Every structure is written in structure tokens, then in C-alpha cells.
Amino acid sequence: MSVTEKQFENILVEQTDRVATITLNRPTALNALSSAMEKEVVEAVEGLDSDPGVGCIIITGSEKAFAAGADIKEMKDKSYPGIYLERFFGDWKRLTAARTPIIAAVSGFALGGGCELAMMCDMIIAGDNAKFGQPEITLGVIPGMGGSQRLTRAVGKAKAMDLCLTGRQMDADEAERAGLVARVVPAAELLDEVRKVAEKIASMSKTTAIAAKQAVNRSFETTLEEGLLAEQNAFYALFATEDQSEGMSAFAEKRKPEWKR
Ligand SMILES: CC(C)(O)CC(=O)SCCNC(=O)CCNC(=O)[C@H](O)C(C)(C)COP(=O)(O)OP(=O)(O)OC[C@H]1O[C@@H](n2cnc3c(N)ncnc32)[C@H](O)[C@@H]1OP(=O)(O)O
């Protein structure tokens, strides 16, 4: 299996046949999300998303920290007009426009913007040492990268209020029970386990994986009736693909499917 690596100032991007891994790499600041890191991550995701060969993207950090939030030292002297006019952190939205499934592999701290970045991904898999929280209130602000909205949708109002109002951290088991995290695995095995999941996703028809991702995401954005209609239409549309015919024929013929796209 060939691996290509590209080192940027704040991230490392590794790409194998079908899976790409973006590793946040600012160890001296616990991967605090600076504007420079935002730009690198967003551009890397967009580049990988436009590569038809990439079937799944992993975003991860270090053992101690996925990311300890936005870079407080960069933020502390900003003014209202400045932050408003530059649309501070507005580019993170571009990450959520990616169609390729993205998994957050979280070890250690995922606080503030770190938790918010993990929640922008399609699935969070956590090491058993992970800690999630929205501690912005302890800094005199509130979440600004989607925390109050995505956390509430993920874990419900009671726990989201608890985390946003007290700033307390939630461990991996609590996060899994609450529905924030898909799976918890031993921290030492996190990346191996996440790669297995990513390879599984990447082994599916990419067209179908995109349709599945979009259908699930739709449920957060619309009414049940419209979501059901969107799902049904996407399901019908998949019958225009070779992969539907291949997947169902392969089942009937008791063989592995060979996806076209
Ligand atoms: C995006 C928004 C809008 O939603 C806003 C946010 O994300 S606000 C930020 C929310 N995050 C936090 O409030 C967490 C801040 N960090 C901590 O509380 C602690 O660092 C810790 C509990 C995660 C870990 O503590 P500890 O193990 O004691 O390590 P430290 O010595 O504190 O940190 C090591 C080193 O990293 C720097 N650091 C950590 N977090 C940040 C950050 N968010 N921004 C900038 N720098 C950060 C910390 O200052 C240390 O650096 P040095 O002082 O040694 O140079």
C-alpha cells in the first residue's frame, strides 16, 4: 500500500489508496485552532473531497489533544468589528460542504472549537481518554463554531445546557451514552480502529456513501416529511447508477460487488 505525505505548517496529510488522514499538528498549543490551521484544514479537506479516489477522510490530533479549542491567544485582542468583518472562523463551514464522509478520531481534549470541529465531521470515534466540552463560558464567550447547535442536536438540551453553562468536560463513556460519539475504543488502538472503519466506508460505492451521508445530514436540517421525501428520491435516484445494479446482482450471485464509482 503506497502512502503519500504532505507536511504543512500546522497539519500533516497522509493519503493511502482510498483513505486520507489529516493530523492536527501544533503540539506546543494542544492543537489550538488558529486561523492558519483553519485555512490548512479546510483547504486539505476540499482538495481530498474533490479527489474521486478518496472514499473517507479522517481528522485526528495527538494523544493528549484532538484540539483544545480556538487559539485563545490569537483571539483575545480581537474587537467586535474586526471579528465580524473578517467573518472569524467562517471558513469552517466549507468543511461541512464536503461530500466525502469524514471521521473525527478523538484522543484527549476536544474542547471548544475542538469539540465543534469533531461535531462538523460525520462520525466521532473516541479513545477512552477523550474529554469533550464547551468551556467558552469560562472565557466570557459562548461557542462560535456551531457548538450550541450541533451539541444540542447530538445530546439534547439538558446535557448541552449543562456543558455550555458550566464549562465542564464530559468523558468518552458519557459522550457515547449521550449520543455524541459513535464508538469508544482503547486510546492506544484509536487510529488503527478508525482506519478500519474508514477503509470499510471507502470500500463502498462512493456515490452511495455520499447519498447516505446527505440523507442522514438532511434529518438535521428539515422537517420529517421533507426529509423522508428527500430520502425516497435519493433512493430512487440510486437505481440510475451501475452500483445499485452491481450491489444487488453481487448479492444474488453470492460474490463481492465491484463498484464502478
Ligand atoms: C471556537 C470558539 C468560538 O467556540 C471558542 C473556543 O474554542 S474558546 C477555547 C476553548 N478552549 C479552552 O478554553 C481550553 C483551553 N485550554 C485549557 O483549559 C488547558 O490547556 C487544558 C485543560 C486543555 C490542558 O491543560 P494542561 O494539560 O495543564 O496544559 P496547558 O499547560 O494549559 O497547555 C499547554 C500549552 O497549550 C496552550 N493552550 C492550550 N489550549 C490553548 C488554546 N485553546 N489556545 C491557545 N493556547 C492553548 C497553553 O497556553 C500552553 O502553552 P504555554 O502557556 O505553555 O505556551
CATH of the domain at 213: 1.10.12.10
Number of domains in the chain: 2
pLDDT value of residue 1? 73
88 shares a domain with 39 = yes
The beta-strand segments (E) located in the chain are: 4-7, 11-15, 19-24, 56-60, 65-67, 102-106, 109-111, 123-127, 131-133, 170-171, 183-185
Catalytic residue among 38, 116, 144, 147: 116
164 shares a domain with 242 = no
pLDDT value of residue 261? 78
User: Is 136 in the active site?
Assistant: yes
pLDDT value of residue 17? 83
Amino acid at 18: R
- Alpha carbon of 67 to ligand 1 centroid (Å): 9
Any idea what DSSP says for residue 132? E
Q: Which residue has the least CA distance to atom 35 on ligand 1? A: 29
- Alpha carbon of 96 to ligand 1 centroid (Å): 25
pLDDT value of residue 2? 84
Q: Which long-range contacts (CB under 8 A, 24 or more apart) does 45-53 make?
A: 45/94, 45/95, 45/98, 45/102, 46/94, 46/98, 48/13, 48/15, 48/20, 48/22, 48/98, 48/100, 49/98, 49/99, 49/100, 51/20, 52/206, 52/261, 53/17, 53/18
- Alpha carbon of 127 to ligand 1 centroid (Å): 20
188 shares a domain with 91 = yes
Tell me the average confidence (pLDDT) per consecutive run of 10 residues in the chain, 261 residues long: 92 95 98 97 98 96 98 97 95 97 98 98 98 98 98 98 98 98 98 98 97 96 96 98 97 96 78
149 shares a domain with 229 = no
* Shortest-distance atom of ligand 1 to CA 73: 45
Domain of 179 in residue numbering reads as 3-203
Q: Which residue has the least CA distance to atom 1 on ligand 1? A: 113
pLDDT value of residue 197? 98
Catalytic residue among 20, 32, 68, 70: 70
The kind and range of the H/E element at 9 are none
Q: What is the CATH number of the domain that holds 33?
A: 3.90.226.10
pLDDT digits (tens, 9 = 90+) for 204-241: 999 999 999 999 999 999 999 999 999 999 999 999 99
158 shares a domain with 139 = yes
